[in-house]
Amino acid sequence: MAFRLFSQTYDPTDFSPEARAGAISQLIVIGLVIIAILILALRWKSTQNVQSIVIEGAKAIRPEEVMAMASLTLADTTESASSSRLAHIRMNILKHPYIKDAIVESNGIRGIKIQVMEREPYIAFPSTMGRIDYVDSSGIILPYDKFSHNSDVPIIHGIYDGSKINKTILKNISEIIETAKMKDIGLQELLSEIDVNSIKKEFTFITTDGETEIKFGSADNIDRKLEKLRLYMLHAATRQGHPRYVDIRWKNQIVIGKQPLLASSGN
């Protein structure tokens, strides 16, 4: 049956086996040409120099340090943006002690983007020569001069022995801090400074005004002790003055040590 297209009449019976074979051969040739062009384009792209390297998230670490860890320069070709090469660059960057994670990806046709996630101070501690340094949640020491831009963390006395961080104490401190966050945001204000007795393994909170010590004791029954402290805070908000200490170590009771009265002199 004939059909009309663009005002011309075609009959399928007009296509001989030789004509069909010729048409298929032409399609194969066209396909091979397209594949060859794609291969040449990819090879051309891989020989082009990288035009831009974008580094994001570096605050404590200088971008030059990240570049050095990545072993990248603008003289590198875009072959550096292959998936295997990008994975290798990421592994090199993660060797930096202050980098927690990194994302390395292509950025346009001739660019590479590196996003670093730096470690963050979790607590601070007095180190050597009167310095204050920081520790992240995994126990990595972070120097003050690089991480002081993020310094609103509790100061812990007694967690550093002069050479290393006590990981057991850090774990206990973390449990106390995270439980306080979940229970009442106001409790965190009482954790701005913590003194650790490493021999007895007991903790004492020092309030921001320095007038009251909160004797927390060991790191057991954390939830129960913090609940008692929360109830005490609600009660203390209606009273004037500050006690010398608040002792929440004992079961079912809170011991409050009053400030000593000032002696008055008579004539």
Residue 149, helix vs strand vs coil: helix
Q: 24-68, pLDDT tens digit by residue?
A: 777 777 777 777 666 655 554 555 556 778 899 999 999 999 988
Instruction: Give the number of other CB atoms < 10 A from CB of residue 45.
Output: 14
**Predicted local distance difference test score (pLDDT) of residue 15:** 57
Instruction: Give the number of other CB atoms < 10 A from CB of residue 215.
Output: 17
Q: Please give the C-alpha separations between residue 210 and each of 46, 108, 193, 196, 237, in angstroms, as whole numbers.
A: 64, 56, 9, 16, 17
- Amino acid 27 reads L
Confidence of residue 131 (pLDDT cuts 50, 70, 90): confident
Helix (H) or strand (E) holding 91: helix 83-93
Closest CA to 203 of 212, 213, 211: 213
With respect to CATH, is domain 52-118 assigned 3.10.20.310?
Answer: yes
Q: In this model, does residue 212 exceed pLDDT 50?
A: yes
| β-strands 213-217, 3-5 pairing | unpaired
pTM, 2 dp: 0.70
Which sequence spans correspond to the domains of the chain? 52-118, 123-257
**Phi and psi, residue 106, nearest 5°:** -65, 150
Beta bridge partners of 156: 194
Q: Which of 108-112, 146-150, 171-175, 262-266 has the lowest mean pLDDT?
A: 262-266
> Would you say 102 and 115 are in contact if contact means Cβ atoms under 8 Å apart?
yes
Give alpha helix (H) positions in 128-246. 144-147, 167-183, 222-236
Which residue reads 């979940």 in tokens?
A: 182
> For residue 191, how far is the Cα from the chain centroid?
22
Report residue 215 as tokens. Answer: 């004797």
The span from the CA of 4 to the CA of 27, in Å, is 24
| CATH architecture for residues 123-257 | 3-Layer(aba) Sandwich (3.40)
Confidence of residue 267 (pLDDT cuts 50, 70, 90): very low
